């Protein structure tokens, strides 16, 4: 029986070692780096609060935050509306439900790189599929990725197309938990379809809604490969995401101290946003 | 009447989500001049674009790299994740609460924070341009532990106690008794881990510069961004189709598992 005291620790040892080396050390080291200037090769130089000073005056970084905000404001509502729409359709006792679900889910499993290369062609100005359809029905061409005021929206639409299958499945699972008798009694009282949706469906699928908002938010804050491949952050920094900016500062200019400061600050914003979303939803459901 | 309308919308939806992939395949088989047509089947199909991709980048090698990296990571996550999951669900030890706290902490920690220092760690370990840099940082994760912990809780304690009386060690109990009874959890963790490491691009771009060690998504990304595709759309699309192909084939056979696993990972986070 004596060995039983050690065994649990043997079981968790690999995880703890991994945590210490690859998570806790990097976090602490990153904190330390915020007060230094370092390009990895030459000796580290202590600069005090200079990185923070640089950050408050960094127009590009705030532009990247604004871009993320624009992305989220378009992406989240669009995602919820499209996903709820298809989930409601699929929830009508229809046949071939497995086929439809599998079709909508296809872009979810395919690598983001594939989706981005594919959509870069669809969005092409001269020969892109979308502009050819538009000119075909007599509308003029749109600069999906070349117009600074549209480019982030175009990326948000693409991201919605890629991810919405997952949220359709989640909403469908949520809708199926709504007890049927609630709708039947609402029918007896003469409720309209909209009233049933507003006062029965929406409150019942609130947990799913919350999950969708959080997952899309995390996804939006992680935006990297889409602008990296499609636009390089342009035109005029209009698609520069924060991760792309940190990547450039760290691995293009080798400003390790400043990139760490950006990383810390950005992570703080992410956690704050998610914290307030959580608080808001909890208050709404109470 | 209403049903017909619903089917119509659902079919339109399927076209919107599936047609671009069919177009990608068709365009990658077409000569450059015919790409922007809306056709379903290429008029004069040729593998020319694909052979150009294979001439320019080591795509086959990168496929093997990706398979190796993703399989090793998945194996590590399943073995070590289930070990911690077992300790949390069926063993008593001091510090359990702290361990739970650590796991939740790592799961909430945004990767944007650890990106820079983890890269520096790789430089100091001299792991840049090795498989170790791709594998070791992802070898264990909190999500798998939480999923195993929850699944193992549903396994009756009597089963484990009976094995203990028979003299089985805790490790034997985990690998010989719990594992065969936890296939759904293993499949779910396996698919999520494999998919997320297969699709990872940012980390490989940072730590791998040697073309022969690159993962497939990384190699295709750099191919599409850099000048080597010489802005030929057909060649870029052929590269993208090659990257999509293995996953789409696997999805065609196991779509039920893919959907269930990825949806359940969404619910846990």
* pLDDT tens by residue, A149-204: 999 999 999 999 999 999 999 999 999 888 888 888 888 888 888 888 888 888 88
**Chain B closest-CA separation from residue A166 CA (Å):** 6
- The β-bridge relationship of strands A36-37 and A45-46 is antiparallel
The answer to whether the Cβ–Cβ distance between B110 and A15 falls below 8 Å is no
Q: Could A229 and B225 be called an inter-chain contact, meaning their C-beta atoms sit closer than 8 Å?
A: yes
With bands split at pLDDT 50, 70 and 90, how would you rate the model's confidence at B245? very high
Least trusted range by pLDDT, from B60-64, B144-148, B207-211, B222-226: B222-226
The token pair that represents B3 in the structure block:
């049903």
B233-268 and B48-56 helices cross at what angle (nearest 10)? Answer: 80
Radius of gyration, CA atoms only, chain B: 23
* In chain B, where the domains are located: 1-46, 49-268
**What is the arithmetic mean of pLDDT over B238-264?**
91
Interface test with A, best of B75, B79, B117, B165 (most A CBs within 10 A): B117
Whole-number percent of chain A with pLDDT over 70 = 98
- Does residue B38 carry a pLDDT above 80? no
Mean pLDDT, to the nearest integer, of A218-235?
90
A228 part of contact set with chain B, CB < 8 Å: yes
Compute the distance between CA of residue B39 and CA of residue B35 in angstroms, rounded to an integer: 9
DSSP string, B8-46: HHHHHHHHHHHHHHHHHHHHHTS-GGGTTS--SS-SS--
> Taking a contact as any Cβ pair under 8 Å apart, which residues of chain A between 41 and 100 contact chain B?
86, 89-90, 92, 94, 98-100
Superfamily grouping for domain A49-285: MetI-like (1.10.3720.10)
Q: Decide if A117 and B121 are in contact by the 8 Å CB cutoff.
A: no
Categorise residue A241: left if φ over 0, alpha if ψ from -120 to 50, beta otherwise: beta
Alpha-carbon dihedral B106, A13, B202, B263, rounded to 10 degrees? -60
Q: In whole angstroms, give the CA distance from residue B95 to residue B48.
A: 61
Residue A127's pLDDT is 78
Q: Which tokens belong to A159?
A: 């991201």
Domain ranges across chain A: 49-285
What local confidence, expressed as pLDDT, does residue B70 receive? 96
Distances (CA, A) of B213 to A45, A184, A188, B60, B63: 34, 61, 66, 11, 10
Contact B214/A at CB under 8 A: no
- Is residue B92 within 8 angstroms of chain A, CB to CB? yes
Task: Give percent of chain A above pLDDT 90.
Answer: 58
Instruction: Determine the straight-line distance between the first and last CA of chain B, rounded to whole angstroms.
Output: 41
- Compare all CA atoms of chain A with the CA of B260 and give the residue at the minimum distance: A169
Looking at CA atoms only, how far is residue A67 from chain B in angstroms?
Answer: 17
Arithmetic mean of pLDDT, B240-269: 86
This prediction has a pTM of: 0.91
Q: What are phi and psi of A37, to 5 degrees?
A: -115, 130
CA-based nearest distance B41→chain A, Å = 15
Q: Residue B84 in contact with residue A15, Cβ under 8 Å? A: yes
Q: Minimum mean pLDDT among A107-116, A246-255, B39-48, B176-185: which range?
A: B39-48
* Chain A touched by B258 (CB under 8 Å): yes
Q: Which of A233, A236, A213 has the alpha carbon at shortest distance from A223?
A: A233
User: Is the pLDDT reported for residue A206 higher than 80?
Assistant: yes
CA distance B182 to chain A (A): 18
Q: How confident is the model at residue A2 (pLDDT cuts 50, 70, 90)?
A: very low
Mutate to test the interface with A, among B92, B113, B265 (most CBs of A within 10 A): B113
Output phi, psi for A145, to 5 deg: -110, -5
Instruction: Name the nearest CA neighbour of B156 among B182, B117, B137, B138.
Output: B182
Q: Which of B16, B93, B266 sits opposite A211 (nearest CB)?
A: B266
B113 to chain A, closest Cα gap in Å: 5
DSSP A36: E
Cis peptide before A235 (omega within 30 of 0): yes
Q: A123 touching B, CB under 8 A?
A: no
pLDDT exceeds cutoff 70 at B230: no
Mean of the per-residue pLDDT values for chain B? 90
A118 in B contact zone (CB under 8 Å): yes
Rounded mean pLDDT of chain A? 90
Q: Show residues of chain A in contact with B139, CB under 8 Å.
A: 18
CB contact under 8 A, A161 and B83: no
Q: What is the pLDDT of residues A102-136, one digit of tens each?
A: 999 999 999 999 999 999 988 988 878 888 888 88
CA B110 to chain A, closest CA, distance in angstroms equals 6
Which two tokens mark A104?
Answer: 């909508």
The pLDDT assigned to A246 comes to 94
The pair of three-digit structure tokens given for residue B188, joined into one six-digit string: 């779910």
Q: What is the pLDDT of residues B52-64, one digit of tens each?
A: 899 889 999 999 9
Q: What confidence tier does B82 reach under pLDDT thresholds 50, 70, 90?
A: very high
Tokens standing for A76? 């989240």
Q: Is B12 on the interface with A (CB under 8 A)?
A: no
**Tell me, what's the pLDDT at B152?**
94
- B13 to chain A: closest CA residue: A104
Chain A: nearest CA to B268, how far in angstroms?
Answer: 9
Determine the pLDDT at residue A164: 95
CATH class of B49-268: mainly alpha
Alpha-carbon distance of A246 to A262, in angstroms, equals 7
Half-sphere exposure for B150 (CA within 13 Å, toward CB) = 14
Q: Does B172 touch chain A (CB under 8 A)?
A: no
| B151 Cα to chain A: minimum distance (Å) | 17
* Cβ–Cβ gap A27/B267 under 8 Å: no
**Confidence band of B98 (pLDDT split at 50, 70, 90):** very high
pLDDT for the residue A9: 93
Indicate the pLDDT class of residue A39, thresholds 50, 70 and 90.
confident
pLDDT tens profile A45-89: 898 899 999 999 999 999 999 999 999 999 999 999 999 999 999
Residue B109 has pLDDT above 80, yes or no: yes
Confidence of residue B99 (pLDDT cuts 50, 70, 90): very high
Q: Is B146 on the interface with A (CB under 8 A)?
A: no
pLDDT, average across residues B216-223:
94
- In the predicted model, is pLDDT for residue B268 greater than 80? no
Q: Could you tell me the pLDDT band of residue A1, with boundaries at 50, 70 and 90?
A: very low
**B117/A26 Cβ within 8 A:** yes
From A12-21, A264-273, B23-32, B79-88, the region with the lowest mean pLDDT: B23-32
- Interface contact flag, B83 A221, Cβ < 8 Å: no
Positive or negative, the Cα torsion across B156, B159, B162, B168? negative
User: For the residues of A118-171, what is the DSSP string, one character each?
Assistant: HHHHHT-SSS-HHHHHHHHTT-----TTTSTTTHHHHHHHHHHHHHHHHHHHHH
Q: In chain A, what residues touch B269 (CB-CB under 8 Å)?
A: 211, 214-215, 218
How many residue pairs bridge chain A and chain B with CB atoms within 8 Å of each other? 250
Neighbouring-strand partners of residue A37: A45
């Amino acid at each position: 029986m004596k060995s039983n005291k050690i065994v649990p620790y043997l079981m968790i040892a690999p995880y703890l070692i991994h945590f210490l080396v690859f998570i806790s050390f990097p976090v602490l080291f990153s904190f330390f780096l915020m007060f230094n200037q370092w390009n990895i090769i030459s000796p580290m130089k202590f600069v005090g609060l200079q990185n923070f000073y640089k950050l408050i005056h960094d127009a590009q970084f705030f532009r990247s935050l604004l871009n993320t905000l624009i992305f989220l404001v378009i992406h989240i509502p669009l995602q919820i509306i499209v996903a709820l729409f298809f989930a409601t359709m699929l929830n009508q006792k229809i046949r071939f439900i497995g086929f439809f679900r599998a079709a909508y889910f296809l872009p979810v499993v395919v690598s983001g790189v594939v989706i981005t290369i594919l959509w870069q062609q669809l969005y092409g100005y001269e020969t892109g599929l979308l502009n050819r359809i538009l000119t075909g029905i007599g509308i003029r061409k749109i600069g999906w990725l070349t117009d600074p005021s549209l480019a982030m929206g175009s990326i948000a639409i693409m991201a919605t197309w890629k991810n919405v299958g997952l949220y359709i499945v989640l909403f469908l699972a949520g809708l199926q938990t709504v007890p049927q008798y609630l709708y039947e009694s609402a029918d007896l009282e003469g409720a309209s379809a909209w009233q049933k949706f507003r006062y029965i469906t929406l409150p019942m699928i609130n947990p799913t809604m919350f999950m969708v908002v959080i997952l899309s938010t995390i996804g939006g804050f992680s935006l990297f490969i889409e602008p990296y491949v499609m636009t390089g952050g342009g035109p005029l920094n209009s698609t520069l995401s924060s991760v792309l900016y940190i990547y450039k500062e760290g691995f293009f200019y080798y400003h390790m101290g400043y990139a760490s400061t950006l990383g810390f600050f950005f992570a703080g914003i992410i956690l704050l946003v998610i914290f307030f979303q959580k608080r808001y939803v909890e208050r709404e459901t109470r | 009447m209403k049903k017909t309308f619903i089917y119509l919308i659902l079919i339109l939806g399927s076209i919107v989500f599936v047609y671009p992939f069919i177009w990608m395949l068709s365009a990658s088989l077409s000569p450059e001049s015919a790409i922007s047509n809306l056709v379903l089947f290429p008029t004069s199909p040729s593998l020319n674009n694909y052979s150009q991709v294979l001439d320019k980048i080591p795509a086959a090698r990168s496929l093997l790299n990706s398979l190796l990296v993703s399989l090793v990571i998945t194996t590590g996550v399943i073995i070590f994740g289930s070990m911690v999951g077992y300790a949390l669900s069926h063993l008593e030890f001091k510090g359990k609460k702290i361990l739970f706290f650590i796991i939740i902490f790592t799961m909430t920690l945004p990767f944007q924070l650890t990106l820079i220092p983890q890269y520096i760690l790789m430089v100091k370990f001299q792991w840049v341009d090795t498989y170790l840099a791709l594998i070791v940082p992802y070898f264990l994760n909190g999500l798998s532990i939480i999923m195993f912990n929850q699944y193992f809780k549903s396994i009756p304690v009597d089963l484990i106690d009976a094995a203990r009386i028979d003299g089985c060690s805790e490790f034997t109990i985990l690998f010989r008794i719990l594992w065969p009874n936890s296939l759904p959890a293993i499949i779910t963790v396996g698919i999520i881990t494999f998919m997320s490491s297969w699709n990872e691009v940012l980390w490989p771009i940072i730590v791998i510069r040697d073309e022969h060690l690159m993962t497939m998504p990384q190699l295709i990304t750099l191919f599409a961004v850099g000048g080597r595709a010489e802005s030929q759309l057909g060649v870029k699309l052929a590269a993208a189709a090659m990257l999509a192909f293995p996953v789409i084939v696997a999805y065609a056979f196991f779509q039920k598992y893919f959907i269930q696993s990825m949806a359940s990972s969404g619910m846990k986070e």
